[in-house]
Amino acid sequence: MENCSSLLIGGKQFSSRLMVGTGKYKSNKDMIESLSKSETEIITVAVRRINNDKHGENLLEKINWQKYWMLPNTAGCINADEAVRIAILGRELAKLSGQEENNFVKLEVISDKKYLLPDPIETLKAAEVLVKKGFIVLPYINADPILAKRLEEAGCSTVMPLGSPIGSGQGLLNSSNISIIIENANVPVIIDAGIGVPSEASQAMELGADGVLINSAIALSDNPPLMAQAINYGVKAGRQAFLAGRIEKQDFALASSPEKNISI
């Protein structure tokens, strides 16, 4: 299946609309194979964990950074000041990987330890600072249309509303708000968190989202490479369906065969 046009973020083009995380895999072998099967071009790495991999290996050394674009994230930060500091470290890590022009950062500010919901006030504060420092900011947020527009106006290159809480696999619980965000946005909308299966990834794309970011659904599945491939297909199918345009819903049946001009 064709990927149906490229995704443009911060002036850089990507053919894949699926971003993939690098955490939670049972082994680095599973991770590397899953990245390949997903056909992703953007992979997100937690700056605070990149040298503290649970398998005792450095991600900078395990991943082919000529093949994938690094999206450092500020996971673990609880306020704006902390997020800005970690983002700056992430930019240096990208340079160490050979990506000298990489100013991307996935902005996460989460002070809520129970439900892991992003802090809207601290996220906006951090975004404003990072944009001024020349970052391509991809902020992770609740599905809040007003906040999404404020972040866009602050200069963020995307907005990344959650479908449901991180790692929950509950799918899209905020479809109505996500639709409003998509309708109002002049930057790409990437659905991040909560997607559990390919059909939910496809649903996000059918709504008109520009892409999805998925980690847990792949890494914690019984067969991560197979799930990565399946989600890749779901993203592509959803994008094609959105571009094709679905039929209108009817309150009654509509025969597929015309009743007029019947010859027999």
Respond yes or no: is residue 113 known to be catalytic.
Answer: no
Annotated catalytic residue within 24, 29, 106, 113 = 106
Query: 150: helix, coil or strand?
Result: helix
- The answer for 247, left when phi > 0, alpha when psi is -120 to 50, beta otherwise, is beta
Among the listed residues 11, 60, 33, the one whose alpha carbon sits nearest the alpha carbon of residue 223:
33
Report the distance separating Cα 68 and Cα 109, nearest Å. 25
Report the distance separating Cα 54 and Cα 141, nearest Å. 27
E runs forming strands in the chain: 7-9, 12-14, 18-21, 42-46, 69-73, 104-107, 136-141, 160-161, 190-192, 211-214
Q: How far apart are the first and last CA of the chain?
A: 41
Structure-block tokens of residue 142: 């609740």
Residues forming beta bridges with residue 211, ordered by sequence position: 190
Cite the active site residues: 106
